[in-house]
Structure 1
Amino acid sequence: MSIRQLGDGEWGKLARKSLVGVVADELLDRIIAGEFPPGASVPGELELSARHEVSRMTVREAMKTLEAQQILSVERGRGTFVNPLSRWASLEAVLRAASEGEDDAAAAVQLIELRRMLETGACELAAGRISDSDLTALAGQLELMRAAHDAHDVAAFVAADLAFHDLILRAAENVFVAVLFAPLHRVLEKRRTQTSEVREIQAHAIGHHQQIVEALSTRDPHRARDAMDAHMQQTLDDLKAYVLADRPA
């Protein structure tokens, strides 16, 4: 059925569904911004319906949406409360929190932990499957990183860094790895920009990327995995030493 063929009843359902999404998104934005931290209660239906100028039914459905994603928990007789991020069941919501949230340090560390789990395995797979043209492309991205470092061009450095890792993920020839990493791209770009503003971190990354290229060139899976693991450890150490060190605990 086309939009023009929708009757008044269908239009009403679509409009309500759209409003439900708006209310749910705005409440999630407030949660991510820290207005309602984990364990805090969120406003009731009356307050939210007045704030958004929508019916209580629309608010109720929006709350059910966030409850289904385990962002909220309803305790009968007490109210509705925000769950810790570790309990959220929506990847999109977790990524929004990692990209925009207040708990920046914890999200940054956990993102590296996730990358370490996935990228070391991907590099191990890639060692046995990577083509000569892929190795040439990796070397090319490494040279772009060096040029960007010399030119103090953070954006170009980040672009080459992301492209380098994307090449390895594709060379692993595992569709599930690619699917898992696709939603992370926006968060990874923000985090890389944050860390790559430190020139010492850039220099460390260039050295480890060179070791990864050399390991992959040998087609030795264990050496490739170890090279990527060393890079992930370096990334974590540099994050703690240069980016998070001066932040309050």
Structure 2
Amino acid sequence: MSLPDELAEQILGSIIDGTYPAGGALPSEPELAELFSLSRLTVREAVTTLRAQNVVRIERGRGTYVNPPAEWTSLHSMIRAATSPGADPEVADGAHVARRVLEGGIAELAALHRTDADLERLREHLRTMRETGGPEAHVAFHQAIVRATGNVFVPLLFEPFTQLLAELPAESDRDALSRHERLLAAIEARDPAAARRFMAAHLRSHDESARSA
């Protein structure tokens, strides 16, 4: 990651944590350069990156202002906002809804295009989930479903949501494992309707558990 990109990420973090709230102004370019001990050129490039994502806007003669998340055009930035401590409930809920829509279609495609190698990977991750209950196996199981679609664009679409998935509490109870087993069975049976249905039921239950945790 380049220095301007790293700085853009730092400024984005300060926007998300409320240091620079929506509607407010960022410090001036010289102030940011002094604050981060970087050149004004680096600051300018970082702000340009955030401007391209519509995280900030430049008002000529006034300064650089922070836009509300609803106007941002970067999925990466939105996922960061959704998974941050104290995230706006509307932003967080929107991310979970979007994930459910995306993963329902992913489950359908996986059921249609999965290979024997895909099934073996899914079974392996499910075994690990039974044995350890760790979050890594849960994330890996869902990523394996993504790969099982056989579509090179789908992993690119899903990648930003892996952060959201990693932030959710791990599931190790019997009901959670049963949901994964039913989902795997539908994919193995090449039943796209059942795969979508079981994925939707699993994600609803997981989200409800996360909210009540």
Match of 1:161 in 2: 138
Q: Secondary structure at the match of 1:35?
A: coil
* Structure 2: distance between partners of 1:128 and 1:54: 51
Single out whichever of 172-181 and 215-224 deviates more from structure 2: 215-224
C-alpha contact (below 8 Å) 2:83/2:92 kept by paired residues = no
Write out aligned runs for 1:54-65 (5 A): 59-65=43-49
Counterpart of 2:189 in structure 1 is 218
- Structure 1 distance, partners of 2:121, 2:52, is 44
**SS of match in other structure, 1:213:** helix
Please name the residue that 1:239 is paired with. Answer: 210
Q: Please say which of residues 93-102 and 25-34 is displaced more in the overlay.
A: 93-102
Matched, 1:173 2:150: yes
Question: Using a 3 Å threshold, how does the CA distance of structure 1 residues 208 and 55 change in structure 2: closer, same or farther?
Answer: closer
Q: What does residue 4 of structure 1 align with?
A: none
Pick from 121, 124, 146: which aligns with 1:140?
A: 124
Supply the distance in 2 between the matched residues of 1:101 and 1:89 (Cα, whole angstroms): 21
Alignment CA distance shift 1:213-1:31 (3 Å): same
- Please give the TM-score of this superposition, normalised by the length of structure 2: 0.82
Extract unaligned runs of 5+ from structure 2.
none
Q: For residues 74-95 of structure 1, give each alpha carbon's deviation from its aligned partner in whole angstroms, at most 9, with x where no partner exists.
A: 2345432211122222334334
Q: 1:134 to 1:68 in 2, by over 3 A?
A: closer
Higher helix share: 1
Contact 1:141 1:160 in 2 (8 A): yes
Structure 1: 4+ residue segments shifted above 6 A:
none
- Counting aligned pairs with the same residue, the percent is 39
- Name which of structure 1's ranges 134-143 and 81-90 shifts more when overlaid on structure 2: 134-143
Match for 1:158: what amino acid? P
CA distance in 1, matches of 2:38, 2:125: 51
Q: Is the 8 A contact 2:56 2:64 kept in 1?
A: yes
Count of aligned positions: 212
Q: Do the aligned residues in 2 keep the contact of 1:127 with 1:224 (CA within 8 Å)?
A: yes
Measured in 2, the distance between the counterparts of 1:169 and 1:19 equals: 32
2:6 & 2:111 partners in 1: Cα distance? 46
Match of 2:114 in 1: 130
Q: Which amino acid aligns with 1:238?
A: S
Give the aligned residue type for 2:206: T
Q: Give 2:118's aligned amino acid.
A: D
Offset of residue 120 of structure 1: 0.9
Is contact 1:34–1:102 with CA below 8 Å preserved after alignment? no
| Deviation (angstroms), 1:118 | 1.4
Which of 7, 16, 20 is the matching residue for 1:32?
Answer: 16
1:71 Cα offset (Å) = 1.0
The question of whether the paired residues in 2 share the 8 Å contact of 1:129 and 1:171 is answered with yes
From 162, 185, 207, the counterpart of 1:185: 162
Using the TM superposition, give the Cα deviation of residue 175 of structure 1 relative to its aligned residue in structure 2, in angstroms.
1.0
Cα displacement (A) at 1:136: 3.6
RMSD: 2.8
Give 1:54 shift.
Answer: 5.4
Aligned counterpart for 1:227 among listed residues 187, 198, 201: 198
Q: Which residue of 2 aligns with 1:119?
A: 103
Aligned-partner Cα distance in 2 for 1:162–1:88: 26
Find the aligned partners of 1:120 and 1:57 in 2 and give their Cα distance: 44
Please give the residue correspondences for 1:9-20 in structure 2 after superposition, counting only pairs within 5 Å: 20=4
Native 8 Å contact 1:109 1:236 kept in 2: no
**TM value normalised by structure 1:** 0.71
Over 3 Å counting, the alpha-carbon distance change for 1:182 and 1:218 in structure 2 is: same
